[in-house]
């Protein structure tokens, strides 16, 4: 049984989500404040995390920032904050999706299923390597280990979220080709994901912060103005 934790301080919303998720075969843990939520996430393994932003104790952004480099599972933010800056902040901190209230519980369950399925497919595709040279992509000091899902820059490991790794790997596997933001969104997030091309921009910025010595002058992922992004071989 897939396990999900819902960190939500509104009991009516938490119970509604629990009912919908359990009907769809998930095991659900509910935490009503940020401190208990962070403790549960750190002490247990979940297949997906649902975080409210405005929580007592610790807010959802603080929890996300604390766990993102350690917990490589999908994270969905559910928030009443509709401002674009809040959405961008959540994505920059490593969220895989950002859903604003009010929302349809059925839609949220559909997104949960989609993110877990994509994560499982990705693990199956790249999680059974044998550490051979063919499972490692090398580009001028950047090493992407497909089997172990690890990234190294000049022999120093950098941590990547699921979507950051998928996006970096896709571009590295297709160097010198320019991909538009809409095309990258469709390939990495899929047609069934709700979002927009700005998500790609945020994730490229996060990747650059981790792999580039000077993110404002990138040596790996190049911006082709008016067209998209290209991995320089």
pLDDT digits (tens, 9 = 90+) for 104-117: 888 889 989 988 88
Distance of alpha carbon 82 from alpha carbon 60, whole angstroms = 15
Residue with tokens 């979940």: 46
pLDDT band with cut points at 50, 70 and 90 for residue 196: low
Domains and CATH numbers, the chain: 3-125 (3.40.50.2300), 128-231 (1.10.10.10)
Distance of alpha carbon 233 from alpha carbon 207, whole angstroms = 16
Closest CA to 78 of 17, 164, 162, 37: 17
In order of 4, 104, 226, the CA distances from 112 in angstroms are: 9, 12, 33
Total number of residues shown for the chain: 233
Nearest 5°: phi and psi at 212? -95, 140
Q: What is the pLDDT of residues 96-147, one digit of tens each?
A: 888 888 888 888 899 899 888 888 876 666 554 444 445 889 999 999 998 8
- Rounded to two decimals, the pTM is 0.65
């Amino acid at each position: 049984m897939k396990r999900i934790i819902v960190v939500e301080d509104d009991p009516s919303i938490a119970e509604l989500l629990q009912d919908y998720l359990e009907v769809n075969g998930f095991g659900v843990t509910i935490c009503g404040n940020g401190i208990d939520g962070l403790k549960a996430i750190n002490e247990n393994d979940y297949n997906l995390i649902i975080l409210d932003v405005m929580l007592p104790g610790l807010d959802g952004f603080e929890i996300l920032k604390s766990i993102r480099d350690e917990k490589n599972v999908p994270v969905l933010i559910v928030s009443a904050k509709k401002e674009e800056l809040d959405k961008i902040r959540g994505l920059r901190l490593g969220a895989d999706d950002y859903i604003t209230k009010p929302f349809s519980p059925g839609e949220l369950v559909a997104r949960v299923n989609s993110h877990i399925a994509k994560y499982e497919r990705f693990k199956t595709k790249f999680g059974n390597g044998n550490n051979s040279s063919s499972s490692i992509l090398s580009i001028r000091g950047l090493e992407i280990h497909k089997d172990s899902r690890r990234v190294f820059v000049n022999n120093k490991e950098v941590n990547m979220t699921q979507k950051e790794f998928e996006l970096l790997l896709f571009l590295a596997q297709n160097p010198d080709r320019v991909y538009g933001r809409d095309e990258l969104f469709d390939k990495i997030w899929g047609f069934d994901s709700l979002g927009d091309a700005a998500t790609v921009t945020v994730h490229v910025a996060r990747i650059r912060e981790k792999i580039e010595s000077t993110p404002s002058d990138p040596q790996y992922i190049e911006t082709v103005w008016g067209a998209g992004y290209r991995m320089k071989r």
